[in-house]
Amino acid sequence: MKSELNAPQRSFMAELSPVLIMAAILVPTYFVLPSKMMAAEILIMAIPTLSFILLLGYTGLLNFGTGSLFAVGAYTAGILLARHNVHILLAIIAGVAMSGIISIIMGYFCIKRVGLIFALLTLAFNQLIWFIIWQWKSFTGGPDGIWGIKREILELGIFSINLKPTFNFYIFVLILFLLLFLFVRRLIESPFGKVLMGMRESELRATAIGYNPETYKWIAFIIGGLICGLGGALFALHQEYVGEHLAHWSTSGEFAIKALLGGTFVLHGALIGSGVFIFLADFLNRFPVLAKAGAGLLVLGAIFILVVMFFRGGIYGGVEKVYNFFRKK
């Protein structure tokens, strides 16, 4: 009996230790990167990438609507902050909730299809949301976007935090990212997560033993939408501007590339892929010749092709294979 009571405590510490290690690595990373804003951007872009990995790597759903759900969260928070001056936490919660509502509707229609049809339906919904944002100029600002978003004092009752300094905002984003990472990790290792992975391997077998794949996929899709909403709301605070390009299909494509770069079958792949993609894009743009000719995208494309061809598990999987090879030697 005593060992049974202690088992959950050991399990919780086993879950918490990787998060603490990530925090110990990510805090000093802020001072190493060439741009102070880059650190927060990497974490923010890793959030919707984490949503993409949850759906593709653990559920087997190729979602091309990630960018639109990300944009919904960003526009919701941005409009509330710029036009109504609401509390920052309230704006973030509203962005998450609105993305969740849209993902409920989107998932209801898309989840009934599988494979390529599902992917194309999510892409169609993505472009529909982009078109609405582009045309509804009186509400979304159209191609001009939402300006005047303020990242100032975060009031938390007995104390307050000034989010205007980049380091303060980075710590705020880091805390939310680590909490989210811990939640998704616990979700994957829960019975619900095991069912998702079982359906990924064999949906027919999961149906045969009594599970309803559509229900589980729909719930996973909604959770992914909520995660995208959090990333979008934080992006609005980070840039203090929201534009229609966030809902474009190319944004969803970037999240897919980041996930494939980092590794689609491991949660750490979201952070690795986002970091590598953003750092390389910034580094290549520092060369005027490459920037003017658009050669930076060519280099990124070549790196992406090499990773996909030779490292099936992304950068994380490739490093793991190399480590295991030398460990055996």
pLDDT in tens, 9-33: 456 666 778 888 999 999 999 999 9
pTM value surpassing 0.85:
yes
Q: What are φ and ψ of residue 145, in 5° steps?
A: 75, -165
Q: What are φ and ψ of residue 162, in 5° steps?
A: -85, 110
Question: For the chain, what is the mean pLDDT?
Answer: 89
**pLDDT tens digits, one per residue of 126-147:** 999 999 999 999 999 999 999 9
pLDDT at 6: 44
The whole-number average pLDDT for the span 234-253 is 95
What does the domain layout of the chain look like in residue ranges? 2-248
Residue located via tokens 């202690």: 6
Q: What are φ and ψ of residue 108, in 5° steps?
A: -60, -40
In this structure, the number of other CB atoms found within 10 A of the CB of residue 268 comes to 19
The maximal CA–CA distance of the chain, rounded, in angstroms, is: 68
The whole-number average pLDDT for the span 59-76 is 96
Q: Does residue 106 contact residue 221 with C-beta atoms inside 8 Å?
A: yes
pLDDT at 328: 78
**pLDDT tens digits, one per residue of 244-278:** 999 999 999 999 999 999 999 899 999 999 999 99
